[in-house]
C-alpha cells in the first residue's frame, strides 16, 4: 500500500476529520506509526478524565489512547519498558500529538519521576472537581462494582466515621482528594507551566470554553466548536457529535450518587478546606467547591 486513502484502513476514531484529506494532500503510510505520548492526562480519578479524552479525540491533530495504560504506576507494566509502552499507543502521524490518560498517575509516588525520566518536556493535563464530590463519586464506583459481584459493602458513613465521629482520613478515596499533596510531588519534577489544570465542573457545564484552553496549552489549532456538543436531557450532561455521528459516555459516567448524611458532607468540606486553599495557591486560581 503506497498511501492511506480511507479512515477505515487506519482505524481513525469516530468523528475525526482525516488530516491527510485536508488541502487534497496524500500522506505516505510510512509516516503512520505508534509513538510515545507528548501529553498525558494524569488525573484525577473520577474527575472527568474520560470526558476530557473523548473531547480531545475530536481534534484531528490528536491521537488518543483509549485504554488506560497504567505504565508509570504499575510495576509489572513499567518493567516491560518503553518499547511495550509505545506499543499501547495509537497509530499517529508526525502532525499529531499522542495523548494517553491514566488517572492513577496523579496520586502515584513514582509516576512523576518516571514520566520526567522519559520526557522532561511532557505536557501534563490535570482535571479536578470538588474533592467531596470526587470522593463520593469514587465511592459510588466501588459500591457499584461490589454490588455487581454480589460482594458485601458498607455505607460511606460507616467507612469514614470512626468511633466518636472522627473522620477516617486514611481511606483511599479521601487521600485521592488531597490535590495539593499530590501536586507537590509533580512540581518537584515539572514546572507549573507544563501542567494545565482543567476545571471538571466547567467542562461539564461549558465544555467548549474549557476545551479552548486545552487546545491552546497543547499548541493545537482551534478546531472544536459549538456543533461538537449537544446537551442530552436524559443523561443530564453534554454529549459529543461530529460529521453526523453522536456519542455519549457510557452508563458508568454520570451514575447517580447514593444519599450521604449532610453532617458528614459538612465535616468533609471542613476537612478539605485547608487542603483546597493550598491547592488554589499552587495553581494560581480558585474553584467554587463546597
Annotated binding site for 3'-phosphoadenylyl sulfate: 46-50, 129, 137, 238, 253-257
Per DSSP, what are the bridge partners of residue 199?
A: 128
Q: How far apart are CA 244 and CA 7, in angstroms?
A: 15
CA 177 to chain centroid: 15
The H or E element that residue 199 is part of is: strand 195-199
Phi, psi of 97, deg, nearest 5: -110, 140
Catalytic residue ranges: 46
For residue 233, how many other CB atoms are within 10 A of its CB? 7
Phi, psi of 103, deg, nearest 5: -60, -20
Q: How far apart are CA 198 and CA 240, in angstroms?
A: 18
DSSP string of 103-125? Answer: GGGTT-SSHHHHHHHH-TT-EEE
Binding residue positions? 46-50, 129, 137, 238, 253-257
Query: Pick from 66, 58, 61: which is nearest to 41 by CA?
Result: 66
Amino acid at each position: 500500500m503506497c498511501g492511506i486513502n480511507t479512515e477505515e484502513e487506519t482505524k481513525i476514531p469516530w468523528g475525526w476529520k482525516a488530516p491527510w484529506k485536508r488541502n487534497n494532500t496524500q500522506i505516505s503510510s510510512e509516516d503512520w506509526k505508534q509513538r510515545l505520548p507528548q501529553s498525558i492526562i494524569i488525573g484525577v480519578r473520577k474527575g472527568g478524565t474520560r470526558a476530557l479524552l473523548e473531547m480531545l479525540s475530536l481534534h484531528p491533530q490528536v491521537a488518543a489512547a483509549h485504554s488506560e495504560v497504567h505504565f508509570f504506576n504499575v510495576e509489572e507494566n513499567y518493567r516491560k519498558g518503553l518499547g511495550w509502552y509505545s506499543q499501547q499507543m495509537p497509530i499517529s502521524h508526525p502532525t499529531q500529538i499522542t495523548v494517553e490518560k491514566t488517572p492513577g498517575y496523579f496520586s502515584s509516588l513514582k509516576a512523576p519521576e518516571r514520566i520526567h525520566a522519559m520526557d522532561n518536556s511532557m505536557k501534563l493535563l490535570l482535571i479536578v472537581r470538588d474533592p467531596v464530590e470526587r470522593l463520593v463519586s469514587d465511592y459510588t464506583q466501588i459500591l457499584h462494582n461490589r454490588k455487581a459481584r454480589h460482594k458485601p459493602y458498607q455505607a460511606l458513613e460507616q467507612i469514614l466515621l470512626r468511633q466518636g465521629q472522627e473522620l477516617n482520613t486514611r481511606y483511599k478515596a479521601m487521600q485521592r482528594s488531597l490535590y495539593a499533596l499530590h501536586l507537590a510531588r509533580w512540581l518537584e519534577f515539572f514546572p507549573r507551566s507544563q501542567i494545565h489544570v482543567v476545571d471538571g465542573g466547567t467542562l461539564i457545564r461549558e465544555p467548549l470554553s474549557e476545551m479552548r484552553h486545552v487546545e491552546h496549552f497543547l499548541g493545537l489549532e482551534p478546531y472544536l466548536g459549538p456543533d461538537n456538543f449537544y446537551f442530552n436531557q436524559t443523561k443530564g450532561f453534554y454529549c459529543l457529535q461530529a460529521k453526523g455521528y453522536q456519542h455519549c459516555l457510557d452508563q458508568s459516567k454520570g451514575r447517580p450518587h447514593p444519599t450521604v448524611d449532610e453532617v458528614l458532607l459538612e465535616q468533609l468540606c471542613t476537612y478539605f478546606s485547608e487542603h483546597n486553599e493550598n491547592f488554589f495557591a499552587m495553581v494560581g486560581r480558585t474553584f467554587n467547591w463546597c
